[in-house]
Amino acid sequence: MNLKELIPILESIAPPGLAEDFDKGRIGLILDRGADIWKIASALDPTDHVLMEAARQGANLLVTHHTLIFDPVNIISKRLSDTLKTAIDNDISIYTMHTNFDKAEGGVNDVLAELLELTNITNLEMGRLGEIEPMDAQEFASFVSEKLHTHVQFIGDSEIRKVMVVGGSGLRREYIDKAIEHGADALVSGELRHDAIRYAGKLCLFDATHYATEAPAMKNLCKRLPEDTVFIEDKPEVRVL
């Protein structure tokens, strides 16, 4: 399949119009090698490991959630040039779907809600709200850890019945406010900060990591693409004492 034929399929999965304003110019086909596509790789981040593994497996399109270059650059560092060289030398185009895939039907937040077995789900645009069988905070932390295959840190001791999920770095005031507004007992996301802990009040916060809350959707994406597609795992090695 030609790359030009594949792009409308990717855009139907994650319509660019859903993206936040800050994603303008940072999503879509960010590296165009213009080749026919015979194998696709999917990953959360376009890391050197991911690109080398994509090349090893013979993929010539990499679909990622996070973009390779977020801020405009005037000087290309050796690190960036080495990454670009890997992609260019192996004729790997890169396509990014970020906040548009967060919001899209079947995207990051839908997959996260499904993995955590939420029911009666409400679409909150940048997150999902749903219900679970009642459990205490410790039980729910263990449940999240098991379902997402990750370590979990959490605050709060309320009984958990209603849960809001946001993939990525959603443990912030704007999402805490939204969770409280909609009567949630818990907010599940990544990147727990001190200011969020102090701000949350009685809302339980569960940090299941940025990677583990978003990567499952990129893995699930493989089933939705028309060509041979492989998910490349590149989970950060975080040591917890």
- The DSSP bridge partners found for residue 188 are 165, 206
Q: What is the pLDDT of residue 31?
A: 95
pLDDT, tens digit, 9 for 90 and up, residues 52-111:
999 999 999 999 999 998 887 888 899 999 999 999 999 999 999 999 999 999 999 999
Q: Is the pLDDT of residue 117 over 80?
A: yes
* Same domain, yes or no: 52 and 112: no
* Same domain, yes or no: 125 and 198: yes
193 falls within a domain: yes
Q: What is the pLDDT of residue 71?
A: 82
d(CA 212, CA 167): 8
Q: What is the pLDDT of residue 183?
A: 97
Residue of 198, 151, 147 whose CA lies nearest to 171: 198
Domain count, the chain: 2
Mean pLDDT of 36-63: 96
Is the pTM value of this prediction over 0.75?
Answer: yes
Containing domain of residue 194, as a range?
105-214
DSSP per-residue string spanning 46-77:
--HHHHHHHHHTT-SEEEESS-S--S--SS--
* Same domain, yes or no: 96 and 113: no
pLDDT, tens digit, 9 for 90 and up, residues 192-204:
999 999 999 999 9
* Same domain, yes or no: 111 and 92: no
Looking up residue 140, the CATH number of its domain turns out to be: 3.40.1390.30
